[in-house]
Amino acid sequence: MATEVSIPAMGESISSGILAAWHVQDGQYVEKDQVLYELETDKITSEANAEVAGVIKILITADEEVEIGQVVATIDETAAAPAASATVTDPANSSAAKPTTTESAPATVTHLSPAARKAAEETGVTVAEISGSGKDGRVTKGDILAAHKQATSSAIEAPTKAPAPVVSSESRETRKKMSPLRRKIAERLVTATQEAAMLTTFNEVDMSAVMQLRKKHQEQFVAQHGIKLGFMSFFTKAATHALQSIPAVNARIEGDHIVSQNYYDIGVAVGTDKGLMVPVIRDCEQKSFAQIESDIIGYAKAARAGKIQLNDLEGGVFTISNGGIYGSMLSTPIINYPQPAILGLHNITERAVVVNGEIVIRPMMYLALSYDHRLIDGKEAVTFLNTIKSAIEDPSRLLFGI
């Protein structure tokens, strides 16, 4: 009896994917619950396990596009499990583990004088390849030094310039089919630029207060929560506060309607080897700094390991993208449509700024807010960004909601 291995349903919006990799080989005996393959869709990457044990027959090769419900392999349940290998024995009782003396090895190799043995060790000459000139054909120190000199001379006389490699036109390019995730990212970016009247406003923020606060409480924070206090929890809290203060930014356009959102689920962009993912931190207004940091770390690990779930990526009202971790000084992020706005963070650099009439050195970061101008006016966008700036430069404001 053969059991079919088919692509499972993964959500209403997912109809196909790429069978990215097989973790087993054709004809291999697989155990129940063993990981069989990796499926990559436009939203997530997931693994599938064997429902039964048996010998697998693979019907679809890796990197092919497959439909939901398509049969990609069969497992023959009637096939017997392979017997344990007879070679798995105690090495002490195995004849293979016992060294034997080969007849082809010259007997003279083991009869070197101390001087000859030392010369062989210093020069690295293979004694077995030398014809000895000593008594009974023994290899002498002179034989070893002569062999070493000859080998050195041959290496010097060899041409030092290697021939130029022949480069074919085919080796100058590689062609690979775009993954579903990359295709989806491309579609969403194009949609955002075509559907939204996108505009970006900028500001800069002094990170001194946040950095001092982190330094002061980091050790106790780690001891109590088991995780580090990062910058993202501050910006997530600050963005939540700004969304509460300027409700126009916490909305979206659907047709000719404006839908106001009364919840604060904020997406945090995570870069992975397979593309950008934006897991959503739910109910940020109700969560502590530790809960937000824990969520961000958990989602980031899951996204990079390809274990992120579909519902983890849906339903956000606003996105924060931190290009600063890659060294970005300034950028104009593209909104995560249909969300109306996105906050771009950048690297922190020490710069000369004027504070109370004096020039001082402060750790500064540029902020960028891209927004849909159809929904958000310039005054609201600038006020929103200034609210975030004020909360970061004086984090105590977050405690009082001011």
Q: Mean pLDDT, to the nearest integer, of 180-188?
A: 78
My answer on whether omega of the bond before 338 falls inside 30° of 0, hence cis, is: yes
What are the tens digits of pLDDT across the range 116-135? Answer: 676 777 777 777 777 777 66
Catalytic residues: 373, 377
pLDDT of 345 above 70? yes
pLDDT of 395 above 50? yes
Residue 269: name the closest of 240, 237, 246, 236 by CA.
Answer: 236
Which residue segments constitute the domains of the chain, with CATH numbers given?
2-76 (2.40.50.100), 182-400 (3.30.559.10)
User: In this structure, are residues 130 and 146 in contact, taking their beta carbons and an 8 Å threshold?
Assistant: no
What are the tens digits of pLDDT across the range 311-326? Answer: 888 889 999 999 998 9
Best-predicted range by mean pLDDT among 34-48, 72-86, 307-321, 366-380? 366-380
Buried b (16+ CB within 10 A) or exposed e, 343-378: bbbbbbeeeeeeeeeeeeebebbbbbbbbbeebbee
- Tell me the pLDDT band of 16, cut-offs 50, 70 and 90: confident
Q: Which residue type occupies 329?
A: M
Say what the pLDDT of residue 12 is: 61
Buried b (16+ CB within 10 A) or exposed e, 260-282: ebeebbbbbbbbeebbbbbbbbe
Strand partners of residue 199: 371
Say what the pLDDT of residue 38 is: 83
Characterize the bridge pairing of strands 29-30 and 54-58.
antiparallel
Residue with tokens 């074919």: 168
More confident residue, 64 or 84: 64
Say what the pLDDT of residue 155 is: 55
